[in-house]
Amino acid sequence: MRIAMIGTGYVGLVSGACLADFGHHVVCIDKDTKKIGALQRGEIPIYEPGLQDIVRNNVREARLSFANELQEHVRSADAVFIAVGTPSRRDDGHADLSYIYDVAREVAAAVDGFTVVIAKSTVPVGTCDEIQRLIYQERPNADVAVVSNPEFMREGAAIRDFKFPDRIVVGSDDERAKTVLAEVYRPLSLNPVPMFYTTRRTAELIKYAANAFLATKITFINEIADLCEKVGADVQEVARGVGLDNRIGTKFLHAGPGFGGSCFPKDVRALIKTGQDHDVPLRILEAVATVNDNRKRAMARKVAAMFSGALRGKTVAVLGLTFKPNTDDLREAPSLALITALHDMGAHVRAFDPAGMAQAQVQMPKVAYCESAYDCAEGADALVIVTEWEQFRALDLERLRDLMATPVIVDLRNVYRPEELQRHGFAYACVGRQSYAGPAAGTSASQKREGIATTRGLHSL
Ligand X SMILES: NC(=O)c1ccc[n+]([C@@H]2O[C@H](COP(=O)([O-])OP(=O)(O)OC[C@H]3O[C@@H](n4cnc5c(N)ncnc54)[C@H](O)[C@@H]3O)[C@@H](O)[C@H]2O)c1
Which residues does the annotation mark as catalytic?
Answer: 263
**Least CB distance to ligand X at residue 407 (A):** 37
Q: Which of 3, 4, 5, 7 binds ligand X (CB under 6 A)?
A: 7
Q: Which of 153, 285, 380, 412 binds ligand X (CB under 6 A)?
A: 153
Q: Where are the alpha helices (DSSP H) in 244-282?
A: 264-277
Q: Which of 3, 4, 5, 11 binds ligand X (CB under 6 A)?
A: 11
318: left (phi over 0), alpha (psi -120 to 50) or beta: beta
Amino acid at residue number 294: N
63 vs 269, which CB is nearer to ligand X? 269
Site string for ligand X, 26-55 (x = CB under 6 A): ---xxxx--x--------------------
28 vs 405, which CB is nearer to ligand X? 28
**Least CB distance to ligand X at residue 121 (A):** 3
Q: Which of 4, 5, 9, 416 binds ligand X (CB under 6 A)?
A: 9
127 vs 447, which CB is nearer to ligand X? 127
CB 383 within 8 A of CB 404: yes
DSSP 8-state assignment for residue 31: S
CB-CB neighbours of 238 under 10 Å: 19
78 vs 96, which CB is nearer to ligand X? 96
- Contacting ligand X within 378-407 (CB under 6 A): none
Q: Does 127 bind ligand X (CB under 6 A)?
A: no
Which residue's CB comes closest to ligand X? Answer: 9
Q: Does 85 bind ligand X (CB under 6 A)?
A: yes
Q: Which of 4, 6, 203, 341 binds ligand X (CB under 6 A)?
A: 6
CB 124 within 8 A of CB 270: yes
CB 221 within 8 A of CB 212: no
Q: How far is CA 439 from CA 203, 374, 415, 449, 455, in A?
A: 55, 23, 23, 15, 9
**Least CB distance to ligand X at residue 45 (A):** 8
DSSP sequence for 411-427: ETT--S-HHHHHHTT-E
Tell me the number of residues near ligand X by CB under 6 A: 26
Q: Does 105 bind ligand X (CB under 6 A)?
A: no
Binding segment (CB under 6 A) for ligand X, from list 80-88, 293-301, 412-420, 448-456 = 80-88
Q: Which residues contact 277 (CB under 8 A, 6 or more apart)?
A: none
Phi, psi dihedrals of residue 408, rounded to the nearest 5°: -125, 125
269 vs 302, which CB is nearer to ligand X? 269
Q: Where are the alpha helices (DSSP H) in 347-390?
A: 357-363, 373-377
**Which of 149, 123, 155 shows the shortest CA–CA distance to 47?**
155
Q: Does 326 bind ligand X (CB under 6 A)?
A: no
35 vs 302, which CB is nearer to ligand X? 35
Q: Which of 110, 147, 184, 263 binds ligand X (CB under 6 A)?
A: 263
CB 21 within 8 A of CB 96: no
**Least CB distance to ligand X at residue 244 (A):** 28
Q: Does 335 bind ligand X (CB under 6 A)?
A: no
Q: Which of 65, 86, 274, 335 binds ligand X (CB under 6 A)?
A: 86
Q: How far is CA 68 from CA 37, 39, 73, 108, in A?
A: 9, 11, 10, 17
Rounded Cα–Cα distance for residues 283 and 278 (Å):
14
**Which of 164, 174, 16 shows the shortest CA–CA distance to 82?**
16
35 vs 433, which CB is nearer to ligand X? 35
Rounded Cα–Cα distance for residues 455 and 440 (Å):
9
Q: Which of 50, 52, 96, 99 binds ligand X (CB under 6 A)?
A: 99
Q: Which residues contact 322 (CB under 8 A, 6 or more apart)?
A: 328, 329, 330, 333, 335, 353, 355, 356, 387
Sheet containing 382-385: order of strands: 368-369, 348-352, 315-319, 382-385, 408-411, 427-429, 436-437, 459-460
Binding segment (CB under 6 A) for ligand X, from list 56-64, 84-92, 274-282, 389-397 = 84-92
Sheet containing 25-29: order of strands: 64-67, 25-29, 2-6, 79-82, 115-119, 144-148, 168-171, 195-198
**Least CB distance to ligand X at residue 123 (A):** 7
Binding segment (CB under 6 A) for ligand X, from list 24-32, 192-200, 228-236, 281-289 = 24-32
**Least CB distance to ligand X at residue 436 (A):** 37
**Which of 156, 275, 292 shows the shortest CA–CA distance to 214?**
292
170 vs 263, which CB is nearer to ligand X? 263
205 vs 421, which CB is nearer to ligand X? 205
Q: Which of 5, 8, 111, 380 binds ligand X (CB under 6 A)?
A: 8
Chain positions contacting ligand X, by CB under 6 A: 6-12, 29-32, 35, 83-86, 99, 102-103, 121-122, 151, 153, 155, 262-263
